[in-house]
Chains A and B, each alone.
Chain A
């Protein structure tokens, strides 16, 4: 199952500068474990004691996984996962 994972600038040191990498997994948690095999250390930047770190946001096809099933959220072939640092909003 091919999943596209978009990597924020701050984590591209783990992906040799790549903006997006491919992973293969059935859930978000497994996806991070899969990424960590090829990009050692990246999972620890995203997870703390098996949970998403507070200031890390992860989106499955643009929807925040915290409102789906968190790191247990199921993935399907062709899904797109975006990792972003939390930001203060703009003017809104």
Chain B
């Protein structure tokens, strides 16, 4: 495929069947249940976030909110910031990210590489605190533009316009779509699109569940639900802990040769759960799930080469992996 510029190469990612992991589903001897991976790590900066980042920027430009020389501010634990930083560099904007301090060194290095400035938020509060601090900074700098992925309809809009149609074109018989629940943009956008086109399609969310070091003393009265979130779009929602996420990330690598980030392991875990349920019920299923990013940014955790899954999980303690 040929494009006129790197930014135009966002999207149109491959959808690949996973023959070994599909065959390993109990009761799937006749192969009526298949797992399909949407390889979003093939985007220009290596994650699915290139889609919403570019779409949010272009829509803000079209609306006149973003003009040459502007500063973009965003709370992000990594990938969105990296995508925004690349687009900002190519388009001539200054980029400031508010990021929890317990994210991997690779993410910081990538952000710096694209010229972004990083404001660290306390590890204890995770992404919730990053969002709160970014909102405070935005109030102090009314001329800065916060695209705000958690509440910007263009985040979900990017997936409604591109990710959803691509999956349906490649897999007209899709029965389940599984993705990670963060800003909720992927699930809301692809979910709405597929629900309009595919009667009965199941939209399954995989939500990361961290260890206690990450949750800390988070207050139950001050939680955070992204403004984009609409529970009506989802069929169900699974909480996936670090151990299952790491185990599936390693399986994806050893069984299918796909080198993915840890959040993809959590998504795969939920996808396998949906596939097992279908196989047990004797139903046909084409389960498409998102490979959100590659494993490069998580190499320093050592989870890919650890002797055992237990040792790999131990290595991930206290880190935000999604």
Residues of A bordering B, CB below 8 Å: 8-11, 19, 45, 53-57, 59, 62-64, 66-68, 82, 84-92
Residue B296 interfacial (CB < 8 Å):
no
With a CB–CB cut-off of 8 A, which chain A residues contact B236? 63-64, 67-68
Given contacts A66-B231, A89-B181, A89-B182, 7 further A-B contacts (CB under 8 A): A8-B218, A54-B223, A64-B237, A67-B231, A90-B182, A90-B321, A91-B76
Interface string of B189-211 (1 = CB under 8 A from A): 00000000000000000011110
State A22–B176 Cα separation when bound (angstroms): 34
With a CB–CB cut-off of 8 A, which chain A residues contact B80? 91
Contact of A85 among B150, B179, B223 (CB under 8 A): B223
Contact of A45 among B126, B220, B222, B224 (CB under 8 A): B220
Given known contacts A53-B220, A87-B224, is B238 in contact with A92 (CB within 8 Å)? no
User: Which one of B48, B222, B239 has the greatest number of beta carbons of chain A within 10 Å?
Assistant: B239
State A60–B177 Cα separation when bound (angstroms): 21
Residue B226 interfacial (CB < 8 Å):
yes
Minimum distance in angstroms from A55 CB to a CB of chain B: 3
Interface string of B98-125 (1 = CB under 8 A from A): 0000000001000000000000000000
Contact of B182 among A8, A11, A67, A92 (CB under 8 A): A92
Interface residues on B, range: 35 or more
Q: Give 20 pairs: A residue, B residue, CB < 8 Å, sorted on A.
A: A8-B215, A9-B215, A10-B220, A62-B239, A64-B207, A66-B231, A67-B236, A84-B209, A85-B218, A85-B219, A85-B220, A88-B128, A88-B183, A89-B183, A90-B127, A90-B180, A90-B320, A91-B79, A91-B292, A91-B293
State A92–B208 Cα separation when bound (angstroms): 10
Judge whether A91 and B217 touch: CB under 8 Å. Answer: no
Judge whether A9 and B186 touch: CB under 8 Å. Answer: no
Nearest CB in chain A to that of B269: its residue: A62
Judge whether A56 and B79 touch: CB under 8 Å. Answer: no
State A58–B78 Cα separation when bound (angstroms): 27
Nearest CB in chain B to that of A8: its residue: B215
With a CB–CB cut-off of 8 A, which chain A residues contact B78? 90-91
Contact of A9 among B47, B81, B217, B321 (CB under 8 A): B217
State A62–B274 Cα separation when bound (angstroms): 13
Residues of B bordering A, CB below 8 Å: 47-49, 76-81, 107, 126-128, 130-131, 150, 179-184, 186, 207-210, 212, 215-226, 231, 234-241, 263, 292-293, 320-322
Judge whether B231 and A55 touch: CB under 8 Å. Answer: no
State A91–B319 Cα separation when bound (angstroms): 13
Given known contacts A89-B181, A92-B183, is B321 in contact with A67 (CB within 8 Å)? no
Contact of B47 among A19, A64, A91 (CB under 8 A): A91
With a CB–CB cut-off of 8 A, which chain A residues contact B241? 62
User: Which one of A67, A89, A91 has the greatest number of beta carbons of chain B within 10 Å?
Assistant: A91
With a CB–CB cut-off of 8 A, which chain B residues contact A57? 239
